[in-house]
Each structure stands twice: as structure tokens, then as C-alpha cells.
Structure 1
């Protein structure tokens, strides 16, 4: 039995979570094949990068063509066609229902009216499906997490200029511990917050157990010297 500790003091995006799993040895190609069989043809890689002297990985997605706006029923249809385990498909479906409910609440519309744009493009499907595929492939049975970073600033989206954390992110942060930071940019994305919301069993100050593997990844923002990206620590129980 293994447990995973998410050290997200410098933020978390869905792409970062999958890249850090890849840094721990997760094979991404079965995920690429599964998505292709479900009608999402992509190329996916997590090449090694160096950021301020630290090595880690950054996710690279190549999804050719223009992706359509998708509503929840279209997303669910894709998820149902994924040749992954029933448990993984069920968790992915639950996550997208949760995301649709949050978006519907934020915009005062029905769940089936939500169209997935920024937070629901093909890369979010990859990030969410990849998160649950990865946890199962690595044998993770329990997920622990550090406190979430609080950050400020503004973000431009389809609904105009919004304060950070973005409304959907803040809704998904409800009931979870946060710690202040000086960052004035989006270091926790809606997809990252969704993954935290769906996978974390407990928030802790630090992990306990025998360290088996460590993965590190970086997002697109350069947070400066001393910011170590996202760290995932895979542990065996005592």
C-alpha cells in the first residue's frame, strides 16, 4: 500500500500534477492510447526541464485541430468510452460533475448549460483523467496534502477580468486549509483545485512513512529563485 503527499506550497495546475507523476515514473503512453480510443487524438510528453537550478518536468500537450465547446453530456460520453478501469472512469466522471456544478453555481445557470471553455478544454480532460489513471497505476491508496497557497492578482477570461483566486477555484477551496503567500498571479488553477478537491483524503503538515519516490514539476509561471515547483512524494506505510 502506498500513499502520496502533495507539496503544493508553490501552487498546482492539473498539468503540473500529471507531469510530477511522470517524473516519478508514470508511463503516459497508455493514457494517450486510451484517450485516442475515446476520440481524443493527442501527443503527450513530459520532458525534463531545469528551473533556477532544479530539475523537474513540464507537461507538453499537442492536440491538433480546433477543439469544440463541450457540455457535460459530451464530456461524459468521452469518459464512458475511455478504456480505463471502471474505478478510474467513475472518478473522472464524478470530478467533471463537480466542476460543472461549481461553474453552474458561479454563473447562475443549469449544470447542463455549462460549456467547458478555459477549464474544460481537452487539456483539462487529459489532466483529470491522467490524475486518476496515474494514482491507480502507481498503486496509491491514500492522498495527503499540504495547506493550499493563498494568492492575489487578477486573471483575464471569457467573463472579463476576475480577481484571484478565480471564482471556481475559490469555491473548490472551501473547507480546505490555506496559507498566505506574496504571489500576485494564478498559482492554483481551477483544474488544480478540482484535483485537490477530488483526490485528497487529509491535509497535513508533512508526510509520515518511508519515502519511495519523489516527483517534481513546473508550470508556465516563473515564480523566481527558491520556488521549487510542485513536489509529489510517494511513501510506503510503516
Structure 2
């Protein structure tokens, strides 16, 4: 099984994860990556070699409207650094916080940009809602699967910030610079994950850092409230480094992609990628990504099964609940016909998910069904090794997922094929057949 293991001994941030994954790819793919990322309006992405404590890797810089989301050092009782923006969480990756606002507040305190260099800050007064972020993502020159995954990650960030502020997600707004910065980080990681095509992603326990951060509302502990919400059910710890090491974006990406957390599994390592942060510490400020094989059929992959029995919901209501769970990141949702007490016919609603998502999805099941309880069962599965390859058809490019060495086991990505069929005004089967033929001729 093709396995990717992320070593987060110095936390995780969007730019560091991006750099570590990019370091796994050859130079020509890096150039293609930069071309795609720099097509995002208002965003400029650059990559340069970096070294931390003798460990060589890559460093990624993201500019939004020509500005990098900086971490400006402000004395805070020896506890670290802080931004001057509202929610100035300190971090050593310089551009990973989204600076959330609600609608009803005075914006004057949120724009005390104490940069050491001069530039026009007119964009700093604009704010982006989650709907605005979706519009940006929908316009990106990346596959639909990447867009969907990016919105899944950004949706988690918005939920975390909404929880931290005690506001509905609809009222959460982001600084324009921070929104673009995070969109770039999230999209970059989602795109690289798709290119790498790992069957399983695992990660080490996450170092959150320590100390305190100074923000507009006072002094807060590390991890910041949004990060603390996102690392629920994820093994993590504090360390000697008295600053923030894991950002909300980094935590959301780990929560989305990693199916398990713990020591590196027994694997044959084929490549190692290193993503460097900005700051210098006694330990190398890097995230490392190990790409390799864990066996012919693959090591077991842990999943959780959530289930509840329903005898007083309509089919429409159950279908709606299933849709909510899938949109929230469930791996699969299905129903079974069952016979319940008092001889009532009923429906068993089952949800398969990653262990880190079990608590969140359990609450969603309780909220969107009439059940008074959700059963949870840890399970193991063996995943078919697979790769993804893009083929050209008369109706546009379509990604095809296939199992190396398994004759005839290949399938075009449904959403892409459906979109191509709709755009060309032809039956879906026509596009699927064209993709199959193109794949066989590869």
C-alpha cells in the first residue's frame, strides 16, 4: 500500500505541509505546481531551498495581494510572539491564521498593521465570508475533487473559528489577506495529496507548542481556541518551545487527511520531503513527509463505524441526514432494513469515518436524526492500492482511478465525467466510455 507518513514533531502549518509534500516531487512537477498556484487571482507562491539545524528541505512563501501574513514579535511575558491583527495568534509559519471577525463589531482595532515595510493596506479592510471563499475555490484551475476537498478543509476552519467566537458559521468573516493565504495553503496541500495518490495517510502525535499569545482580547493560552477545537480526538502534546507550533490550517489539514496518529508504521521508504518554517529553534523547525510502501496488500487502515436505529423518520429525512454526514467528511453512509422492538420495521443508519472525525459526526447523527444514541465500533480495513491518472477525451480531461496490477480495475471520476457530459450535451456513458478507451491506450 502506498503510504504517506507526516512527522509533526514541530507542529504543522499549511506552508510547511505544502513544502514537505512538494519536496517529494521531481522538479518538473514543482514547476507545474507553481504554475497552477500562481493562477489564483491575488496570490503569488514561491519556493526556495531551506535548511534548519542542518536538515535541508524546501520553504514555501505565499503572498496575498503582495503581502505575506507575518508573525510580528510583540513582548508577551516571555510567552512568544503575536500579531497586531485581531486574534493575533503567534506562529512560526508567518501566514496561517485567518483573523476571524463577526459582522457586528467595530473594525478599527483590527487594522493596526505594524509592519516594518511600507505597502498599501487597502485590501486589509475587506473581509471574506465562507461563501466568498467557495467562489474563489470554484474558480481555481484544479480538478473538482481537489476543490471539494479544499472546501471540506476550509469548512472545518470556519467551524472552528465559529466555535471559538460563539457565532454561527454564516457570521464568520476572514481578513481578505488571511483568507487568500489559507485558500492557497489548503488548495496546495489538497492538490499535492491528489498528485501523490497515497492510499493511506498517517501522522505522528502533534506538537502544539506552549506558552501564551497576546491578542486583541487579552492573553490566551497555546493552542489557540480554533486549533484546540480542531485537534479534538487527535493525539497531541505541548513542548518546550514557548510559541504556537500548530496553526488552525495545519490542524484542519491533518484532521482531513490523516486516518491514524502514532509511530511511523513499518514501511519501505521511497522518498522523504522536508518543509521548513521561518523561525529558528534549538530543534529543526520542519515537517517531514515519508512516502513509501507498507506491504503488497497494505497494512490495515483504522475506521470507525457509527450506527443508530430509526423507526420514526421518513425516507426523505433519513436521506437528508445521510447527506449532512457525507458533506461533513464521512467516508461512506448507508442504510440497512431492520426489525426493531414491538415488531416495528426500521432503518439502521451507518456511517464510516476516520477515528478523528467520530466525535463530530456522532453529534451530527444525533442532531439530524430522532435517535437518542449512536453506537461506535472501531474497525480495520484493507484498502486496494490505487493511483489516479488524467486522460484526455473529446469532451475534456477526466481523471481515472485504477489499481496497478489489477486487470480491468479502473474507473473514471464520476463528478468530472458528469460535468464533462453536461457541458458537451452528451450522455454520461459516452464520456465514461471515452475515458475508458483513452486510459487503455495510455
Q: Please, what TM-score do these two structures have when normalized by structure 2?
A: 0.50
Q: Which residue of 1 aligns with 2:3?
A: 3
Whether the 8 Å CA contact 2:2–2:292 is kept in 1: the answer is yes
Q: Is the 8 A contact 1:70 1:120 kept in 2?
A: no
Please list, as runs of the form range in 1=range in 2, the aligned pairs for 1:61-100 lying within 5 A after superposition.
61-65=62-66, 66=123, 68-100=126-158
Q: Is 2:208–2:222's contact at 8 Å kept on the other side of the alignment? A: no
Residue of structure 1 equivalent to 2:287: 230
Contact kept, 8 Å, 1:20 with 1:216, in 2: the verdict is: yes
2-side partners of 1:208 and 1:45: how far apart?
Answer: 34
Structure 2 CA distance for partners of 1:41 and 1:2, relative to 1, 3 Å = farther
Q: 1:21: which partner in 2?
A: 21
Aligned to 2:250: 192
- Corresponding position: 1:53 with 2:111: no
Question: Can you give the 5+ residue segments of structure 2 that lack an aligned partner in the other structure?
Answer: 67-122, 296-442
Q: Which of 77-86 and 11-20 deviates more?
A: 77-86
Aligned pair in 2 of structure 1 residues 172, 119: CA closer, same or farther (>3 Å)?
Answer: farther
* Alpha-carbon shift at residue 64 of structure 1 (Å): 2.9
Bigger shift: 96-105 or 226-235? 226-235
RMSD value over aligned CA atoms?
A: 2.2
Q: Distance in 1 between matches of 2:167 and 2:291?
A: 40
Deviation at 1:29, TM superposition (A): 4.5
Counterpart pick for 1:213 among 264, 271, 277 = 271
Name the TM-score, length of structure 1 as normaliser: 0.90
Q: Distance in 2 between matches of 1:17 and 1:219?
A: 10
The alpha carbon displacement at 1:34 in A equals 4.1
Please state how far the C-alpha of 1:220 moved relative to its aligned partner.
1.7
Structure 1 residue 105 displacement after superposition: 1.2
Cα distance in 2 for partners of 1:32, 1:77 equals 21
CA–CA separation in structure 2 for the residues paired with 1:94 and 1:139? 18
Who wins on radius of gyration, i.e. which is larger? 2
Which residues of structure 1 form unaligned runs of 5+? none
Corresponding residue for 2:203? 145
Higher relative contact order structure (alpha carbons within 8 Å, sequence separation ≥ 6): 1
